[in-house]
């Protein structure tokens, strides 16, 4: 793990340039340009709002503003999670020509893939914050939890990204499996709904390491409450475990990359 940080320091320029490459290429190739960054979260939020309104109508109660805001707050990190994992998984095979020709720590590929998605998250977050300024929600000190939760999420994404990119290098169908899992994960992750909706069974849902982060973000941004300490700690535990295991596994497999890609 320490090796990873030392590597990041030494190769920060490379990491920066690769991230910049991914961002530039993405926005140059599209007509919509920077709007891409908010399109995905916007679609997810819209879908979530439809679900919320639907549920409220069935239950015969009015839609609460905090619920709508909660969906938006969860949609952004979820879109970041999905895109980062997808992009990071394919990062080593997509850069195969570099992997077989130039020697530098291969971890820069999945990490820069995550970093370029982080840029999108940043753009979308600015738009969301600007919008939230007009929303009738209570802003409390609990909002200070939001950056902490985001850091936990980023660490998790980096960990999964490292592991999955290496797995996909050795077994090319890993990315299809990841794709399927990500597609259905929306059902097992409290993005459109709250875990509390399931009563006792909500806890099972929270075992998903991303779930407590999303719930926590909704609580501290839209609900004005602190996130649940126990579950947040659980997610942080995942992040810590990944931080210990993922770089070690990745570095262990690294010498085999060039022959196997």
Partner 1 sequence: MGDVVLEAKGLYKKFKKGEIHNSLRDLIPALVKGAVSGALGREEFWALRDVSFSVDKGEAFGIIGHNGAGKSTLLKHLCGILVPTRGELAVKGRLSALIEVGAGFHPDLTGRENIYLNGTILGMSRAEIRAKFDAIVAFSELEDFLDTPVKRYSSGMYARLGFAVAAHVEPDVLIVDEVLSVGDFLFQRKSVDKMRQVLRGGTTVVFVSHNLRAVAELCPRAMLLDHGRVAAMGDTGAVIKRYMERGAEEPTGEDKDAYIAEVTLADEAGREAVQVDGRARLRATVVVAARRRAERLAVVIECRDEELYDVFNTSTQRLGREAFTLEAGERFVVEFALRLHLVPGTYHFGVYLYRYDVQRNYDTRVPARTFYVRADADVRGVVDLEPEVVRHEKAT
Question: Interface with partner 1 includes 98 (CB under 8 A)?
Answer: yes
Residue 227 is given by DSSP the state P
Q: Which residue, 74 or 106, is less far from partner 1 as judged by CB?
A: 106
How many residues are recorded in the chain?
A: 261
Interaction residues for partner 1, span 169-198 (CB under 8 A): 170-174, 177
Using CB under 8 A as the binding criterion, the count of chain residues that bind partner 1 stands at 29
| Residues in Cβ contact with 247 at an 8 Å cutoff, skipping those fewer than 6 apart | 1, 3, 4, 107, 162
3-state secondary structure of 190: coil
Under rule CB under 8 A, residue 51 binds partner 1: no
Taking the complex as a whole, how short is the minimal distance between the CB of residue 21 and partner 1, in angstroms?
6
Instruction: Judge whether 118 and 154 are in contact, CB under 8 Å.
Output: yes
DSSP state of 113: H
- The reply to whether 28 sits near partner 1 by the rule CB under 8 A is yes
Instruction: Render the burial of 92-116: b for 16+ CB within 10 Å, e for the rest.
Output: bbbbeebbeeeeebbbbbbbbbbbb
Q: Any residues with CB less than 8 A from the CB of 59 and at least 6 apart, and which? A: none
Nearer to partner 1, 20 or 135 (CB): 20
The yes or no reply on residue 17 touching partner 1 (CB under 8 A) is yes
Question: Closer to partner 1 at the Cβ: 5 or 104?
Answer: 104
255 near partner 1 (CB under 8 A):
yes
**Binding of partner 1 at residue 25 (CB under 8 A)?**
yes
For partner 1, the closer of residues 5 and 16 by Cβ is 16
Q: Does 29 bind partner 1 (CB under 8 A)?
A: yes
Residue indicated by tokens 């709508």: 68
User: In terms of CB distance, is 80 or 109 closer to partner 1?
Assistant: 109
Is there binding between residue 18 and partner 1 (CB under 8 A)? yes
Query: What whole-number distance in Å separates Cα of residue 67 and Cα of residue 65?
Result: 5
> Site mask, partner 1, residues 198-217, x = CB under 8 A?
--------------------
Which residue in the block uniquely carries the two structure tokens 């990841």?
A: 178
Q: Which of 1, 3, 5, 21 binds partner 1 (CB under 8 A)?
A: 21
Q: Are 33 and 27 in contact (CB under 8 A)?
A: yes
Q: Which of 102, 130, 133, 229 binds partner 1 (CB under 8 A)?
A: 102
- C-alpha distance from residue 67 to each of 62, 70, 71, 177, 183 (Å): 11, 5, 6, 32, 23
Q: How far apart are CB 85 and partner 1 at their closest, in Å?
A: 18
Q: Which residues bind partner 1 (CB under 8 A)?
A: 13-14, 16-18, 20-21, 24-25, 28-29, 95, 97-98, 100-104, 170-174, 177, 255, 258-260
């Amino acid at each position: 793990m320490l090796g990873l940080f030392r590597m990041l320091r030494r190769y920060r320029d490379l990491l920066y340039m690769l991230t910049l490459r991914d961002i530039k290429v993405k926005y140059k190739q599209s007509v919509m340009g920077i709007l891409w960054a908010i399109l995905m979260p916007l679609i997810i939020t819209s879908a979530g709002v439809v679900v919320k309104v639907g549920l409220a109508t069935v239950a015969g109660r009015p839609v609460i503003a905090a619920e709508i805001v909660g969906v938006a707050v969860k949609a952004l990190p979820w879109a970041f999670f999905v895109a980062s994992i997808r992009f990071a998984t394919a990062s080593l095979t997509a850069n195969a020509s570099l992997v077989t020709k130039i020697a530098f720590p291969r971890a820069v590929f999945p990490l820069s893939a995550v970093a370029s998605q982080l840029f999108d998250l940043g753009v979308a977050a600015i738009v969301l914050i600007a919008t939230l300024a007009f929303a009738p929600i209570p802003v409390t000190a609990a909002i200070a939890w939001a950056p902490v939760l985001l850091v936990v999420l980023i660490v998790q994404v980096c960990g999964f990204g490292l592991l999955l990119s290496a797995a996909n290098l050795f077994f090319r169908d890993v990315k299809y499996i990841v794709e399927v899992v990500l597609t259905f994960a929306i059902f097992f992750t409290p993005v459109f709904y709250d875990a509390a909706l399931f009563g006792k069974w909500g806890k099972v849902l929270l075992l998903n390491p991303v779930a407590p982060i999303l719930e926590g973000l909704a609580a501290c941004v839209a609900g004005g409450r602190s996130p649940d300490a126990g579950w947040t700690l659980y997610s942080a535990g995942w992040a810590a475990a990944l931080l210990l295991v993922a770089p070690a596994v990745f570095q262990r497999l690294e010498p085999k990359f060039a022959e196997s890609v």
